[in-house]
Amino acid sequence: MAGTLFIITAASGTGKTSLVKELLSCTDNLSVSISHTTRQPRPGEINGTHYHFIDHASFQSLIQASEFLEYAQVFDHYYGTSKQAVIDLLAQGIDVILEIDWQGALQVKAQFDQAVMIFILPPTRQALAERLSNRGQDSQEVIKKRLAGSLDEIRQYDQFDYVVINDRFEMALDDLQTIIKSHRLTLQAQQARHAALIAALFDDTPTYP
């Protein structure tokens, strides 16, 4: 059975990373694709766990070799998703989350028509600005640049299948779980997951208690 590809996109500062981390911890048969990036690790980030951190030359080599399912430039750095890593997980019947920007989301959707696209919005512009400032990792100039970029990205929300508002963390997490669970109950998914059970229900061979 092939797994389902879930694309989760949000503007910087919306809380996407925290939501995805918690979603993975409380949902079975769900994995996240680890992206490649040319930016430097932030405090606490581990290479191979949060991202595959590589230099620009290595990233360009992977582009030339068509190794990426999608890639994009965000805030002067490149991010990309390994095509083979995603295909391998899906082939094992594992549902996969791509935590990528809107440009990458549209690139993937063009190749995986059945991908489920989810956009996470902040409750207010003020909340978004406060979350970016409260990180305490960037200068005011960087924060201002990120806020402008986030607002541009938010305008792409209407190209997605689902919209989740991250006002209260628990409610947003529950919304994400509901989306995943509902797609696991579709006709196509259930036919694949329970093929033997369904076949037995229509088997006319006599059975004896």
38 annotated as ligand-binding: no
> Is residue 69 included in any domain, yes or no?
yes
pTM: 0.84
Domain limits for position 99: 5-201
Digit-coded pLDDT (tens) for 98-156: 999 898 899 999 999 999 999 999 999 888 888 777 765 667 777 788 788 888 889 99
91 assigned to a ligand binding site: no
Residue 13, annotated ligand binder?
A: yes
CB atoms within 10 A of CB 181: 10
Kindly write down the DSSP assignment for every residue of 118-134, as one continuous string.
EEEE-S-HHHHHHHHHH
Tokens of 31: 């994995």
Answer yes or no: is 19 within a domain. yes
Tell whether 97 is covered by a domain: yes
Asked if residue 152 lies in contact with residue 101, where contact means CB atoms within 8 angstroms, the answer is no
Cα–Cα distance list, 146 to 1, 40, 52, 89, 156 (Å): 40, 16, 22, 32, 16
The reply to whether 189 sits in an annotated binding site is no
Q: Please check whether residue 99 is in contact with residue 20, taking contact to mean a CB–CB distance below 8 angstroms.
A: yes
In a domain, 209, yes or no: no
Question: Could you give the number of structural domains in the chain?
Answer: 1
Flag whether 17 is marked binding: yes
Q: How far apart are CA 79 and CA 188, in angstroms?
A: 32
Residue 206 lies in a domain: no
Q: Mean pLDDT, consecutive 10-residue segments, the chain of 209 residues?
A: 90 90 96 94 92 96 95 87 93 93 92 94 88 70 80 93 96 97 92 89 75
Domain membership flag for residue 144: yes
Per-residue pLDDT, 208: 61
Say if residue 150 carries a ligand binding annotation: no
CATH of the domain at 164: 3.40.50.300
